[in-house]
Amino acid sequence: MRKPPGLFRRIAATVLLAWMLGFLWFAWFLPQPAPAGTRTDGVVVLTGGGGRIPRALDVLAAGKADRLLVSGVDRQVRPAEFAAEYKVSRRALACCITLGFDSVDTRSNAREATAWIARNHIHSVRLVTTDWHMRRATFDLWVSAPRGVTIVRDAVPSRPSLRILFLEYNKLLARMIAWLAGW
């Protein structure tokens, strides 16, 4: 007579099933762009993916936000180079766009954005990043931003590979577990 699976096996199977279902949800229901009429006090765009910066600049140009932080700009980039690359006027760069040079990853993007939000007394912020990156970026910003700040997700649609989705899902889970553990 066979012995029924032990408690450890049942727990492992349940965890694996939960992970698989979570991954399916993560991959099939990627965040979407913000609704067309959405207005916020500011926009934070995270560098690193195609279409992110143009999307944020379009939001600013359309008057759907007053200020823009481009977080994660390479230290080698000069404001004039940025303006030329993205066809931004000097006036817009001087009044409304902040180039953030202090971040190198998603967590430091959130810290950089948090400082900018506080300095500029932002109460609502539109977060612009690629759809597959949006959940972790939102989580990190939510963890560090001042309480009461509304975060509007504005995902740039993409066609991520299964590899990117797998890695990003596991990074999100690791980040959430680390936060729950107080790391």
Mean pLDDT for 35-40 is 95
Q: Which residues contact 46 (CB under 8 A, 6 or more apart)?
A: 52, 71, 72, 106, 109, 127, 128, 129, 133, 137
In the three-class reduction of DSSP (H, G, I as helix; E, B as strand; rest coil), residue 182 is classed as: coil
Q: Show the domains of the chain with their CATH numbers.
A: 42-159 (3.40.50.620)
How many Cβ atoms sit within 10 Å of the Cβ of residue 137?
26
What is the Cα–Cα distance from 36 to 145, expressed in whole angstroms?
24
Instruction: Kindly state the helix (H) or strand (E) to which residue 4 belongs, with its residue range.
Output: none
pTM for this predicted structure: 0.92
**Confidence tier at 183 by pLDDT (50, 70, 90):** confident
pLDDT tops 80 at residue 11: yes
pLDDT in tens, 76-128: 999 999 999 999 999 999 999 999 999 999 999 999 999 999 999 999 999 99
Residue pair 51/153 in contact (Cβ under 8 Å)? The answer is: no
DSSP string for 78-146: -HHHHHHHHT--HHHHHHHEEEE-S-SSHHHHHHHHHHHHHHTT-SEEEEEEETTTHHHHHHHHHHHSP
Q: What is the CA radius of gyration of the chain?
A: 19
Residue pair 60/87 in contact (Cβ under 8 Å)? The answer is: no
pLDDT tops 70 at residue 28: yes
Q: Which amino acid appears at position 119 of this protein?
A: R
Mean pLDDT for 55-70 is 97
- What's the pLDDT score for residue 142? 97
pLDDT tops 70 at residue 2: no
> Which residue has 């009429």 as its token pair?
37
Among 103, 102, 89, CA closest to 60: 89
Among 110, 126, 117, 107, CA closest to 31: 126
